[in-house]
Amino acid sequence: MQPHTVERLDAELRHAYVGATSTSDTGRRLIKLPAVHFPAGCRPDTARALVVIDPASNMPELYLSDVPVLPSGIKPSTGQVVIAGETWNTYSFALRNWEADKNTGEQFVQGKLRRFSLAA
Amino acid sequence: MSEQRIDHEPVVFGLATSAATSTRDLVLIRKLIVAPESSFIKTPSHGAKWTGTFNIELLNRCVEDSTGLVILHRHSGRNVGLSDDDRRSATTLIPYFQSAVPQRFHGSIVLGDDSAAGMVWSPNRRYPTESIEVRLLENQIHTYTQSPVEQDFRQFRQIPLVHGAVAKSLLANTRIGIVGLSGGGSQLATQLAALGFGGIVVVDPQRFDSDNRLSTDAPRAFDLALRAFKTSVVKRQVLTINPKCSFRALRSNIPSEDVLAALRDVDILIGCVNSLCARADMLEIAGRYGIPYVDVGFNVGVDEEIETGPQITSLSGNVFTIVPGDACMWCTGFLTKRKLENEAGGQDRSYIRLKRAKKSSREAAMVVPFNGLLASSAVTEVLQLVVGFSPKRDASLYRKYDGFSGEVHNWELTRNPSCLHCGSVVHAGDPIWS
């Protein structure tokens, strides 16, 4: 991913999510979002999120402070990682039709959160 | 080539990150800058003065790297203190650096033979604190306090293993974190307690039962019958040996939030886990917060495919001591991205759980003595880090054990200059968010 793309995505996310902060750590750009909203019926209904942009990768990664239970009562399979000294949760959902050069940071986040619209 | 004579006090400049723990603030020196002689101004006194141009260079570096500035110099002797000149210089200069990088710590420190004194400004604070302790990580953790232990100092210098006042003080003021209490972890906890370590934090969510009773000598029969938590059993043992030991137990997995918060506060971290991914997480924590890490591992290789029945093909163990700044697991290829991906089965490494594998001959193996040997070796590594009884060894060390032959070998390690962990994670501290 080109440096100007990283900057653009950072700026877009900070514009779209009020209160977002970012930092650079171990060569990656980290953008912390104070709140992302899950589909109706999910518990909890919001969580903090972390977008990690690695210049060596074409796709950012999204991590959550909490992974919600779906309206069906099912909790998606999750894992935990350490990023910049903090614990974050991850879940499996392959985002298609998102490209760094064509799409926005907000589209990336909303695309990844579509996982929680699925029934299971 | 002849040595250049220096007419001023030697001084170096540290670029520092920082991190907060529950009990203290850490100021982590990432880089030391030695100023060229041309940067110093001749003065009648022995104190060092440097040019405004060099100050601006330092300021620019601090801003670019988001670091604080720590000025370090040395006075000979014990019980050192800042001179009036040192104080004047610091209170004049540091506020400029504070205003440039207000989120970091800045300060001026003088080191003596085994003591330190200094003034350190916390982020956005006008007045400095002088309550500091300095640690230098080499093949031993050298701790410089404001009030070094006087008694037995000479004896300790000559015989670091003697259990006199200095050694007792060092051990009592050292906190050890142990992640994993199965084989080696439970056995080394009791040794650390016996030596007099003041604080032990243990992390393990599991219980003792018939499946894991052959890996350690820790549980009693009623512990197995009641399926006691491993942390409870180890707590009982540690406090029976040393009631003064501050003991904390976390029944969580790494990298949960409570575990990360607790491990930031330890002085030495020991990992006795069974996955490379857990090791990678612990190395990240240890490197980021400047904590020496001792990794203990033992593996029984079993070939289940042999027609005549399963056979042991290897009994191999290791004790790997990693001092931040020296060769690490990534430098040496102990950890690689490919290995972590293989362990995760092609998925993101965060999906690794301590899954119970299909029951195999491996789990019924009598490995108590092998784990005991490795546990003792790990404790000697911890002792070396604290009292430095072996002055000539390297900082990071990889010790390989062959259970068949009983041989233990130290393998030479070389730091990889392009290692991402060593270059970017070590002493990274807490990032600054804006």
Which residues of chain B does A94 touch, with a Cβ-Cβ cutoff of 8 Å? Answer: none
Please report the pLDDT score of residue B305 as a whole number.
74
Structure tokens at B308: 């005549």
Per residue in A63-114, pLDDT (tens digit) is 999 999 999 999 898 888 899 999 999 998 889 889 999 999 999 999 999 9
Structure tokens at B17: 């990150």
Half-sphere exposure of A74 (CA within 13 A, CB side): 9
For residue B111, the cross-strand partners are B74, B116
**Between A and B, how many CB-CB pairs are < 8 A?**
70
Across the interface, which of A26, A81, A89 has its CB nearest the CB of B424? A26
- Is the pLDDT at B346 greater than 60? The verdict is no
- Is the pLDDT at B350 greater than 50? The verdict is no
Site from B340, B421, B433, B434 to mutate, A interface, most A CB atoms within 10 angstroms:
B433
Contacts of B111 (CB under 8 A, 6+ apart): B72, B73, B74, B75, B80, B134, B144
Please report the pLDDT score of residue B417 as a whole number.
93
Q: What is the mean pLDDT of residues B161-167?
A: 82
- Is the pLDDT at B321 greater than 60? The verdict is yes
Contact between A85 and B260 using a beta-carbon 8 Å cutoff: yes
Please report the pLDDT score of residue B342 as a whole number.
86
- Distance (Å, rounded) from C-alpha B31 to C-alpha B122? 19
Q: So where are chain B's domains?
A: 11-132, 158-425
- Is the pLDDT at B272 greater than 50? The verdict is yes
* DSSP symbols for A90-113: EE--PPPS--TTTS-HHHHHHHHH
Please give the radius of gyration of chain A, using alpha carbons only, rounded to the nearest integer: 14
Is the minimum CB–CB distance between A46 and chain B shorter than 8 Å? no
Per residue in A1-56, pLDDT (tens digit) is 899 999 999 999 999 999 999 999 989 999 999 999 999 999 999 999 999 999 99
Residue labelled with tokens 């197995």: B224
Per residue in B24-60, pLDDT (tens digit) is 999 999 999 999 989 988 877 777 889 999 999 999 9
- Distance (Å, rounded) from C-alpha B182 to C-alpha B202? 11
Across the interface, which of B19, B281, B429 has its CB nearest the CB of A82? B281
Q: Is the peptide bond before A44 cis (omega within 30 degrees of 0)?
A: yes
Per residue in B82-135, pLDDT (tens digit) is 999 899 999 999 999 999 999 999 999 999 988 999 999 999 888 999 999 999
Mean pLDDT of chain B: 88
Is the minimum CB–CB distance between A85 and chain B shorter than 8 Å? yes
Interface of B with A (CB under 8 A): 19, 253, 255-257, 260, 264, 281, 284-285, 288-289, 347-353, 420, 424-425, 428-434
Across the interface, which of B255, B264, B347 has its CB nearest the CB of A80? B255
Is the minimum CB–CB distance between A44 and chain B shorter than 8 Å? no
Amino acid identity of residue B82, one-letter, is L
Q: What is the mean pLDDT of residues B185-197?
A: 94
- Distance (Å, rounded) from C-alpha B391 to C-alpha B328? 20
Please report the pLDDT score of residue B363 as a whole number.
53
What is the four-CA torsion angle of B351, B357, B363, B364, rounded to 10 degrees?
160
* DSSP symbols for B67-129: -EEEEEEE-SSSS----HHHHHHHHHHHHHHHHHSTTS-EEEEEE-SSBEEEEEEPTT-SS-B
Structure tokens at B43: 């003065």
Q: Is the peptide bond before B255 cis (omega within 30 degrees of 0)?
A: yes
Report CA-CA distances (Å) from B240 to B47, B154, B244.
54, 33, 10
In terms of Cα–Cα distance, which of B402, B180, B372 is closest to B275? B180
Cα B235 to the center of its chain, rounded Å: 23
Please report the pLDDT score of residue B3 as a whole number.
56
CA distance B164 to chain A (A): 37
- Distance (Å, rounded) from C-alpha A7 to C-alpha B342? 33
Is the minimum CB–CB distance between A7 and chain B shorter than 8 Å? no
Please report the pLDDT score of residue B353 as a whole number.
38
Across the interface, which of A21, A30, A79 has its CB nearest the CB of B350? A79
Phi then psi for B98, rounded to 5 degrees? -60, -40
DSSP alpha helices (H): ranges in B122-183?
153-158, 165-172
Which residues of chain B does A23 touch, with a Cβ-Cβ cutoff of 8 Å? Answer: 431-434
- Is the pLDDT at B320 greater than 50? The verdict is yes
Please report the pLDDT score of residue B7 as a whole number.
72
Count CB neighbours of A51 within 10 A.
24
- With b meaning 16 or more CB within 10 Å and e meaning fewer, what string describes B238-255? beebbeebebbbbbebbb
Please report the pLDDT score of residue B161 as a whole number.
83
Across the interface, which of B264, B348, B424 has its CB nearest the CB of A90? B348
Which residues of chain A does B28 touch, with a Cβ-Cβ cutoff of 8 Å? Answer: none
Region B158-425: CATH code: 3.40.50.720
Structure tokens at A29: 């750009």
Please report the pLDDT score of residue B5 as a whole number.
63
Contact B118, B144 (CB under 8 A): no
Which residues of chain A does B63 touch, with a Cβ-Cβ cutoff of 8 Å? Answer: none
Count CB neighbours of B311 within 10 A.
12
Is the minimum CB–CB distance between A57 and chain B shorter than 8 Å? no
Please report the pLDDT score of residue A87 as a whole number.
94
Is the minimum CB–CB distance between A79 and chain B shorter than 8 Å? yes
Amino acid identity of residue B204, one-letter, is D
Contact between B347 and A84 using a beta-carbon 8 Å cutoff: no
B235 falls in which pLDDT band (50, 70, 90)?
very high
Contact between A26 and B425 using a beta-carbon 8 Å cutoff: yes
The rounded percent of chain B whose pLDDT value lies above 90 is 65
Contact A32, A21 (CB under 8 A): yes
Going through B145-289 in order, the beta strands assigned E by DSSP cover 175-179, 199-203, 246-250, 268-271
CA angle at B11 for the pair B23 and B54, rounded to the nearest 5° = 105
Q: Rounded to two decimals, what is the model's pTM? A: 0.91
Contact between A90 and B350 using a beta-carbon 8 Å cutoff: yes
Please report the pLDDT score of residue B4 as a whole number.
59
Per residue in B351-400, pLDDT (tens digit) is 443 333 334 444 567 788 899 999 999 999 999 999 999 888 888 999 99
Contact B291, B141 (CB under 8 A): no
Please report the pLDDT score of residue B356 as a whole number.
35
Please report the pLDDT score of residue B252 as a whole number.
94
Contact B12, B73 (CB under 8 A): yes
Q: What is the mean pLDDT of residues B189-209?
A: 94
